[in-house]
Amino acid sequence: MTIEIVKLSEKAKTQLITLKRRTGIQNWNVLCRWAFCTSLNESSIPPKEKIQIDSSIEMTWKIFGGTHAEVYFALLVQRCKQDRFDLSSKTLNEQFKLHLHRGISYLATNPKLTSIATLLALTKKPLE
């Protein structure tokens, strides 16, 4: 079981562009890692929705996760177990996509996220 390709919606692409401008982080994969972990940190299950994958942003799982790709996958598996989902490839892919897009939206719509410093502050405590 694995995720091969990470694809994003046009809305997520626009939000990532905003995040790049605010934080100065230029790599999609780095921002996507932050977004994924931000969503995993939420106790609620992301709402099931049909996300239209219509942007030009696409990366392999290895690019998304970098040298820690296995850790990100393990985090996804653990979260799926916690949320009592089966661990089929279909479910893992779906939950990853939902967490990634929810995290991107959370970060992009947070008015206090104006720099890399405030992004780092998210690891200490949530911004209000």
Domains recognised in the chain with CATH numbers: 5-121 (1.10.1220.160)
Neighbours of 11 (CB within 10 A): 16
Contact (Cβ atoms closer than 8 angstroms) between residue 88 and residue 20: no
Supply the DSSP symbol for 122: T
pLDDT in tens, 7-65: 999 999 999 999 999 999 999 999 999 999 999 999 999 999 999 999 989 999 999 99
Nearest-10 crossing angle of helices 89-108, 69-82: 100
pLDDT of res. 120: 87
- Helix boundaries (H) for the chain: 10-23, 28-41, 61-65, 69-82, 89-108, 116-121
Amino acid at 40: L
pLDDT of res. 1: 58
pLDDT in tens, 76-98: 999 999 999 999 999 999 999 99
Amino acid at 55: S
Amino acid at 17: I
Q: Is the pLDDT assigned to residue 102 strictly greater than 60?
A: yes
Q: What is the pTM of this model?
A: 0.92
Q: Which phi and psi angles does 67 have, rounded to 5°? A: -70, -10
Contact (Cβ atoms closer than 8 angstroms) between residue 35 and residue 108: no
